[in-house]
């Protein structure tokens, strides 16, 4: 059995809202039912959930962080504190679209942060805004026996306390080098690029004893493409075109619990 879900934006409120219509279909029914769903969607998101996930709740959900789990791009917030906001924002946008090598662009952006007081990292952490539905999605996955992983091209100094706040123990990000209480403008150790994100997904599935076909991956930019393509269901969340082109489905309602609704056919 497969699941076909139509996730529709509900207009009128201050916060993004959505509804979901969902049905299970057999292999024989799938082509006609999927075609019909696209016909009646009228601009809404149509999500095809494959058989390994269609009749259960997701046991592994891995998410990008910046512009996915949170509303912000942390590097841009830090750059604003360093007086390099416009320069860094342009590079970030190009990297998200897949027009620049991610590692090269990250190192160039981090270089502009040299001399930034370490305390600013705490200020930025306090300023980030979780995406609507983030808490609900994490709670729903965990309460149904699943695990949530966060993997970020951002920074551990921001992600670690955020993950702890949500009760998430599986996470990875880059680490800003600090010396004498200031950012040096360098990244410590490895860079979390697209290949690293894919490895993170694989490792989390292996640790949980689950095949990657049973995992859901959610991201918004080019650096998420390999992870999203690897998962059993790869969701492009309010994405850049580079990711939308390769993902299994797009969710354009800016609430992360809309992904849960699409996968399970349930609002809770």
Average pLDDT (213-241) is 97
How many angstroms from the chain centroid is the CA of residue 64? 3
* More confident site: 176 or 15: 176
Number of neighbouring beta carbons within 10 Å of residue 186: 15
> According to CATH, what is the number of the domain 74-126?
1.10.150.210
pTM above 0.75, yes or no: yes
Tell which CATH classification among 3.40.50.261, 3.90.1720.10, 3.40.50.720, 3.40.50.1000 matches the domain 57-71+129-264: 3.40.50.1000
CA–CA separation, 213 and 168 (whole Å): 22
Q: Is 127 helix (H, G, I), strand (E, B) or coil?
A: helix
pLDDT bucket at 243, cuts 50 / 70 / 90: very high
Q: Retrieve residue 65's tokens.
A: 């962080």
Q: Which regions of the chain carry the CATH code 3.40.50.1000?
A: 57-71+129-264
* More confident site: 160 or 109: 160
pLDDT bucket at 57, cuts 50 / 70 / 90: very high
* More confident site: 90 or 244: 244
CA–CA separation, 109 and 75 (whole Å): 8
Average pLDDT (187-195) is 95
Q: Which regions of the chain carry the CATH code 1.10.150.210?
A: 74-126
CA–CA separation, 108 and 211 (whole Å): 37
Show which residues are catalytic.
64, 66
């Amino acid at each position: 059995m497969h699941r076909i879900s139509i996730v529709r934006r509900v207009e009128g409120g201050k916060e993004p809202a959505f509804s979901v219509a969902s049905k299970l279909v057999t292999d024989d029914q799938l082509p006609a039912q999927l075609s019909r769903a696209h016909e009646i969607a009228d601009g809404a998101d149509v999500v095809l959930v494959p058989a390994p996930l269609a009749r259960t709740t997701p046991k592994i959900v891995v998410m990008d962080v910046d512009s996915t789990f949170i509303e912000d791009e942390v590097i841009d917030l830090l750059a604003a504190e360093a007086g390099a906001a416009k320069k860094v924002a342009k590079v970030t946008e190009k990297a998200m679209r897949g027009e620049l090598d991610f590692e090269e662009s990250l190192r160039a952006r981090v270089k502009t942060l040299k001399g930034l007081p370490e305390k600013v990292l705490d200020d930025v952490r306090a300023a980030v805004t979780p995406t609507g539905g983030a808490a609900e999605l994490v709670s729903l996955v965990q309460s149904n026996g699943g695990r949530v992983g966060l993997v970020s091209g951002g920074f551990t100094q921001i992600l670690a306390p955020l993950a702890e706040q949500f009760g998430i123990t599986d996470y990875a990000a880059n680490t800003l080098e600090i010396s004498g209480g200031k950012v040096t403008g360098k990244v410590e150790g490895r860079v979390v690029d697209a290949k690293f994100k894919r490895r993170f997904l694989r490792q989390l599935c292996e640790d949980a004893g689950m095949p990657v076909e049973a995992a859901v991956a959610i991201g918004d930019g080019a650096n998420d493409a390999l992870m999203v393509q690897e998962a059993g269901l790869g969701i492009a969340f309010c994405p850049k075109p580079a990711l939308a082109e390769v993902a299994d489905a797009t969710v354009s309602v800016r609430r992360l619990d809309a992904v849960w609704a699409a996968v399970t056919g349930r609002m809770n």
